[in-house]
Amino acid sequence: MLGIIEVSVALIVCLLVAQFLKLQWTRRRFPPGPTPLPIIGNLWLLDFKLHRENLVKLTNIYGNIYTVWMGQTPVIVLNGYKALKDGLISHSEEISGRPLTPFYRDLMGEKEKRISFRKKATNEELGDLLMASDQKAGAQPLPDTTEAAEAIRMQKAASKLHLEHEQKLADIRRLEKQKNAELEREATIREERARRERIERLTADERVRQMQQETHQMQQEMARPQLQVKKAMEEQLKLYPLGSPVYNNIGKSFDPHTHIVHAVANVICTVVFGHRFSSEDDSFNRLIKAIYFVIFFQATIWGRMYDAFPWFMHHLPGPHQEVFVYTDFMHNLVKNEVRSHKERWKEDDPQDLIDFYLAQIAKTKDDPTSTFNEDNMVQTVADLLLGGTETTTITLCWALLYMLQYPDIQERVQKELDTVLEPSQLIHYEDRKKLPYTNAVIHEILRCSNITAVGSPRQCVKDTTVLGFPVEKGTIVLPNLHSAVYDSEHWETPWKFNPSHFLDSDGNFVNNEAFIPFSAGHRVCLGEQMARTELFIFFVNLLRVFTFQLPEGVNEVNLNYILGAILQPHPYKLHVVPR
């Protein structure tokens, strides 16, 4: 028995050494980076998390372009605006693919399929085939004469010419097929981008209208604790004398996250489903919980382990199994909404995004290349809910936190709002042009909070170079967006909250090319315009009505973040004072 154990250990050690040597040979094709270990790559060095501080440390060692190994997968990381610009903008065509990680593949139900492709004949096999056919055609024995020998030579020469011609035709057909596949891929990307842009345009006006309503609803809910205090105090006055300590404990402060996420989620639900949910609705609250769990799971150690060892993790219990339960709930909720829409749907009178999508399905039903179908519709709606709810909510939470930290900036914003806007004026996104300081503050909130510090991974679709480093087709490229919005070469005080980053000497708003919190190039966030609009309208409306203050007895703000797929602030409470 001991001999078997020793042999097994020796075999494992040999395999690990062989894999280590293979990794050292393979990594020579990629930009420099830390030495990967067998099986886990550099996951140990990253603490199994894409922590922006860890990426900064590696930048200081290996430069603005380096390679880290996520398990057995090499990932090229771009750091600093110069590298990001060259990779995402200058070479946006080449680095435009979207890798489907094992986690997302299983999340979307795209299981691996065993497809048997018929192997095409290689040039050598084609030659053998032609020669065989020639031999079969000339199977009759020929007399051993000069004429016969010449005939054989001529036949072989003709066969050789025929083989070369067929080889050239095969090469041409192969190149044409590759070109057609590339054109088809590019057309699919353009079609998908155009489809989402059409949806974005169709729903833009409805979003603005709904955001105004949800802001008003949120304002009422935020003011409710103050109304409850007043009512409770009136009741308590009958029992306790004025000034009793009992009044100090009656709901003076609250966590704004719940109010904000309900408002933001209901904006999306109204545009997509055509109706809003009550904050007490069980399905609505479970939907919000599902969105939160799915979004933040991917950045946990469980998410990293799933991508590194999908088959192994798929058969283990853990929170990753709960993600799939929540995803099924979201899909079923959307399917139920689609079912109810189909019962009352009128093609000439669409009311929301599902109606528009159903109209597109009907319009393109005879087009075999169309991507409009019910499965894609369910996934599109789920993507909108996942991508638009928690991101805007977290950014607004950061916005209010910064206003608590910098009350002088809050006051200056309110003065600009009072000066420029009429008291009863409805806020529109175009109003930002008349509010340069407010617009600068919002941009600085996006820059400093930088909630998606590491952008979505991309895949190189053809061989290229980034700042002189070769990037092979199929390689995953990871944009470190944090390194651009905190790049000291482009920001005067990168680590300080400073709205002057977006103002010129005359107080006019100016943009900065290194401001790319929504990424850049072909894979720029398609919801960027929606997010900007939501953030502006919610932020302006809230500061018009309230002044936000720290709760009594709290003297400092925690501006550290909680690491996740979205960098969120630590839970906090605030006190609102109606203006």
14 marked ligand binding residue: no
Measure the CA–CA gap between 282 and 260, rounded to whole angstroms: 18
**DSSP-derived 3-state class of residue 471:** strand
Q: What angle do CA 380, 388, 88 make, to 5 degrees?
A: 85
**DSSP-derived 3-state class of residue 459:** strand
Q: Which residue carries 């996104």 as its tokens?
A: 429
The answer to whether 574 and 404 have CB atoms below 8 angstroms apart is yes
The answer to whether 88 and 479 have CB atoms below 8 angstroms apart is yes
Provide the pairing of β-strand 458-459 with 464-466.
Answer: unpaired
Closest CA to 506 of 434, 436, 421, 407: 436
SS (H, E, C) 327-394: HHHHHHHHHHHHHHHHHHCCCCCCCCHHHHHHHHHHHCCCCCCCCCCHHHHHHHHHHHHHHHHHHHHH
Strand partners, 471: 464
Q: Which residue carries 């989620």 as its tokens?
A: 265
Closest CA to 399 of 454, 446, 450: 446
The answer to whether 538 and 208 have CB atoms below 8 angstroms apart is no
490-499: burial string, b at 16+ Cβ within 10 Å, e else: bbeebeebbb
Sign of the C-alpha dihedral computed for residues 363, 367, 373 and 377 taken in this order: negative
Closest CA to 210 of 271, 280, 281, 257: 271
Q: Which residue carries 């914003």 as its tokens?
A: 413
The answer to whether 578 and 223 have CB atoms below 8 angstroms apart is yes
566 contacts: CB under 8 Å, gap ≥ 6: 295, 296, 390, 391, 394, 451, 452
369-379: burial string, b at 16+ Cβ within 10 Å, e else: eeebeeeebbb
Measure the CA–CA gap between 467 and 455, rounded to whole angstroms: 19
Measure the CA–CA gap between 348 and 368, rounded to whole angstroms: 24
Measure the CA–CA gap between 577 and 579, rounded to whole angstroms: 6
Annotated binding-site ranges: 525
Annotated binding-site ranges for heme: 525
